[in-house]
Amino acid sequence: MSKTNNNRASRHHTQRSATPGKATLLALGKAFPKHVIPQECLVEGYIRDTNCQDPSIKEKLERLCKTTTVKTRYTVMSKEILDAHPELATEGTATIKQRLELTNPAVVQMAVEASLASIKEWGRSATDITHIVYVSSSEIRLPGGDLYVATQLGLRNDVNRIMLYFLGCYGGVTGLRVAKDIAENNPGSRVLLTTSETTLLGFRPPNKSRPYDLVGAALFGDGAAAAIIGADPVCPECPFMELNYAIQQFLPGTHNVIDGYLSEEGINFKLGRDLPQKIGDNIEEFCKKLMMKTDVKEYNDLFWAVHPGGPAILNRMESVLKLNEEKLECSRRALMDYGNVSSNTIFYVMEYMREELKKKGGGEEWGLALAFGPGITFEGILLRSL
């Protein structure tokens, strides 16, 4: 089903030594469904598939598609699925059962393929994995996807499993923070972190009473990512980034800015127009808390791996922090190539950042990984390039 991307990083001499006892990124992997949607084809396909007859909705979606900067996306949804389940495109139909029957195996399959890609790059046996952290806002069942992924990968039956469900866009960085804590408090442990998301749970026909549905149609994509995290690397491991310090905070009184809930028709989201402003109003203080652990004082002396929730958020950050244009290039590139893939996207950004730092012969030593989501929640990790 899935198209796996594993642009294995070539082995290189470590420029900097990892701090003893600190968690490091040892490998990355990603995977995608086989269906690719060029952005220029999205409008006609979405309008056709949902039997929308309202020209004003089509015009609005066309405008949104131009402003997102997305060029391509991958999707689990297909003509075959809609032919078998036309009720998914019918307004007011209870379809949660059908949706979960499709999404649960789809997200697990993508997570498995992304995990296999990261394990291959890591260079050690899957049985050396001691912990698995599984992140998704796209499946609901007991037992959860963590068990199915562990089983299909052939992990030991005493592997320690953790599920992080329905965190939204900041889930990938939360997963890194949790994996960091595990790796640093369990000597010799190796943590597989995997994230997997699909928009199928929220696919529905457009309705003027739900304007954000069109934003989702224009912006979000499907896929999976994986990473191996561990402290005190050994041969043949090749750490490339240190997870030096991590924090999380929420903005009081903003829990309704990103509002999501599950219904008989699937998952529904509402997004406040003031989200970029609220992030911009609080981002500097948050970044300074992370930077306190270093001697770096200037934002442009850092490298930046920011979850690209949308171009408006990136533009606001760039303006508030007075970042040079190239500082958020990896985030913009990930958004362009994959869309917003929720918790996965930060790993696509970090993969591009790894490439850029290597081109620079190491580049900046310190950087920040940031993501924002419901709450409004800020997640941040101080990174050190190795």
Which residue numbers are catalytic? 169
Per-residue three-class SS string for 174-213: HHHHHHHHHHHHCCCCCEEEEEEECHHHHCCCCCCCCCHH
Copy the structure tokens of residue 35.
């269906």
For helices 55-67 and 212-219, give the axis angle rounded to 10 degrees.
50
Q: How is residue 127 annotated by DSSP?
A: G
323 CB burial (10 A radius; 0-12, 13-18, 19+): middle
Q: What interhelical angle do 329-338 and 345-359 show, nearest 10?
A: 130
Other CB atoms within 10 Å distance of the CB of residue 85? 16
- Asked if omega into 376 is within 30° of 0 (cis), the reply is yes
Cβ contact 31:117 at 8 Å: yes
Distance between CA atoms of residues 302 and 294, nearest Å:
11
Please give the Cα distance from 137 to 199 (Å, whole number): 10
DSSP symbols for 63-96 = HHHHHS---EEEES--HHHHHH-GGGGSTT---H
Rounded Cα–Cα distance for residues 168 and 165 (Å): 8
